[in-house]
Structure 1
Amino acid sequence: MARVDTRNSSRYWKDPHVPGLSCLAADFTSHDYAPHSHEALVVAVTEDGGSQFKSRGSTEEASASALLVFNPAEPHSGRMGWSRRWQYRGLYLSQPAIDAIGRSLGIAATPYFTANVFRDDALVASFLSLHRALDAGRDPFEERELLVRSFGVLFGRHGSGGERIPAAPRDSQLAGKVQALMSDRYAEELTLDGMGAAVGLTPFQLIGLFKRATGLTPHAYLTQVRLKAALRELRAGAPIVEAALAAGFCDQSALNRHFKRCFGITPLQWLRAARR
């Protein structure tokens, strides 16, 4: 539900697929946060402008190059500072969400963060992609993959005091089994957890294994399998909406989006070209 005033606007929502995960998208031209804390792990990324915040007795800057992380119950305050605008996206993980991510990573003890700012461009981009995917709410598989991958990298690269995240085995046969599963069951509602369990891997291990074996994430590979299936349906004369559903896409718009991203044209444009 959005909260809007003459200077600031923000949207706050709970993710329906991950209990305990809440999201915030904010656009501020004026703000002043008094010292406060959250009973949640907070991760925030800046889209435009920036602000200043105070934590652990020092003042830091939020900017597009910084990933902000606050441990549960860690006090901090904030104000606009040098910037006239601050657009940012935040993720708030209460204990159920933290526990769920831990299970996906194969760890029971999640790490503590000894700093609040991490200059990590790749991780900033990863969390922006995650938040935007959650905001769009169009593809639960992609959302899940981005969630597991982003927090897995954050915990492994910058966390302290937690358990080491088990690495995926270097076994091309396991990847081949998952590829075969995708080829056989692409029209079903496949999940990272289900496919990982089929070969004895956590979702995070499955992502790492698949990336090494195929050069693609599980979501990207499954999308390619489904696009090929949709092309077979279209060549056989199926209407676009029927081809989308038969290939495992949730609707025609999802097929259109991925089709254009991959081939540069829509399925309708492809059909017209094929007829000519």
Structure 2
Amino acid sequence: MSSPAIAPQTESARMHIAPDFAGMELLTARYVHHRFAPHVHDTFVVALIEQGSERFRCRRAEGVANAGSIIVIPPAEVHTGQSGGESGWSYRALYPAPQKLGELMAELRDGDARLPVFDRVVFDDPALFRALQGLHAVLIACRDPLLRSCAWREAMTPLLRHAGVVEPATGREDVAVRRAQELLRADPNGALTLDDLARAVGLSPWHLNRVFSRSVGLPPHALRNQWRLAQAKRLLRGGLSPAEVAASLGFADQSHLHRLFKRAFGVTPGGYIQSKNVQDRIEPFR
């Protein structure tokens, strides 16, 4: 009897671009035999090792980063990369421009846009790893500008803690939070960005996102989605189809509405319509 065929070890790489983040590149890749020659980027590199391990060498350090590790390399630092074992490695990487990190640093340090300095290359921080994975996924798959900008600050702020950046103290800012809620209610189709909201209420985007989440219990994009879902119920009861509701309320598509609706209410929009129709056919008790 012949031995079973062994599946080939495949390699793949796909690059996405986030135009609203200064053209930030977003790589999703799996490599087995590929070796990166010594090279540099004009951006930061934030790599998330999801499977396997990567062997690297750069000016400050060399070693192996295992699954769950975060690699951070500053601009213009020569580095290499190759598999740290026979099975290769899978990873996601973000390449934020110095300009974007400088803007966030300015929000955190009262206008001081000096770039962060990391004293290590490899970090082990499971919560940050998950947050950066989520940011990577959002920037690839979601067009909602409010969600994108909130996700950026929620993921990158804890990364900057590893560079010794101390977040400023924040108060309640009740007036600003109430005004932001009013603006979000008036913008169900999702035209506002976090920058727009922050300018309107006189806070930095990071400050607004932090005090809003602390005061309301949800970040701005999540609260706006709750209002959208309440409106979705009303429109579904009024006879609109899920596709029409998704389009009228600014959801990315019908599946986006379906996913959020099921998560919030336990039934899909179609199931909600069916329940409503069954209720309508029930003869009132006399």
Q: TM-score, normalised by structure 1?
A: 0.87
> Which secondary structure does the structure 1 equivalent of 2:233 belong to?
helix
1: CA distance between counterparts of 2:216 and 2:84? 46
- Tell me which moved more, 49-58 or 125-134: 49-58
Q: Is the 8 A contact 2:69 2:123 kept in 1?
A: yes
Q: Which amino acid aligns with 1:114?
A: D
Q: What displacement does 1:22 show? A: 0.9
2: CA distance between counterparts of 1:57 and 1:190? 42
| Larger-gyration structure (1/2) | 2
2: CA distance between counterparts of 1:26 and 1:119? 20
Q: Is the 8 A contact 2:26 2:95 kept in 1?
A: yes
Q: Structure 2: state its 5+ residue gaps.
A: 1-8, 279-286
Q: Structure 1: state its 5+ residue gaps.
A: 1-5
Map 1:211-230; keep pairs closer than 5 Å: 211-230=213-232
Q: 1:269 to 1:164 in 2, by over 3 A?
A: same
Map 1:160-179; keep pairs closer than 5 Å: 160=164, 165-179=167-181
> Which secondary structure does the structure 2 equivalent of 1:17 belong to?
helix
Map 1:105-120; keep pairs closer than 5 Å: 105=108, 107-120=112-125
2: CA distance between counterparts of 1:37 and 1:149? 27
Q: What displacement does 1:204 show? A: 1.2
Q: What displacement does 1:134 show? A: 1.8
Q: 1:84 to 1:25 in 2, by over 3 A?
A: same
Q: What displacement does 1:100 show? A: 4.4
Q: Is the 8 A contact 1:33 1:77 kept in 2?
A: yes
1: CA distance between counterparts of 2:112 and 2:247? 36
Q: Which amino acid aligns with 1:13?
A: H
> Which secondary structure does the structure 1 equivalent of 2:236 belong to?
helix
What residue number does 1:147 align with?
A: 152
Picking from 118, 132, 139, the partner of 1:134 is 139
1: CA distance between counterparts of 2:196 and 2:86? 46
Q: Is the 8 A contact 2:69 2:124 kept in 1?
A: yes
Map 1:220-259; keep pairs closer than 5 Å: 220-259=222-261
Identical-pair percentage: 37
- Tell me which moved more, 53-62 or 224-233: 53-62
> Which secondary structure does the structure 2 equivalent of 1:249 belong to?
coil
Q: What displacement does 1:27 show? A: 0.8
Aligned pair count reads: 269
Q: What's the C-alpha RMSD, in Å, of the aligned pairs?
A: 2.3
2: CA distance between counterparts of 1:101 and 1:212? 19
Cα displacement string for residues 27-73 of structure 1 (whole angstroms, at most 9, x for unaligned residues): 11222223222111110112211212123454332223211100111
Map 1:1-276; keep pairs closer than 5 Å: 7-56=10-59, 58-102=61-105, 105=108, 107-155=112-160, 157-160=161-164, 165-276=167-278
Q: Is the 8 A contact 2:189 2:250 kept in 1?
A: yes
2: CA distance between counterparts of 1:39 and 1:187? 36
Q: What displacement does 1:199 show? A: 1.1
1: CA distance between counterparts of 2:166 and 2:195? 20
Q: What displacement does 1:103 show? A: 5.4
Q: 1:226 to 1:57 in 2, by over 3 A?
A: closer
Q: What displacement does 1:165 show? A: 4.8
Q: TM-score, normalised by structure 2?
A: 0.85
Q: Is the 8 A contact 1:104 1:148 kept in 2?
A: no
What residue number does 2:5 align with?
A: none
2: CA distance between counterparts of 1:52 and 1:266? 46
Q: What displacement does 1:167 show? A: 4.1
2: CA distance between counterparts of 1:206 and 1:76? 37
What residue number does 1:3 align with?
A: none
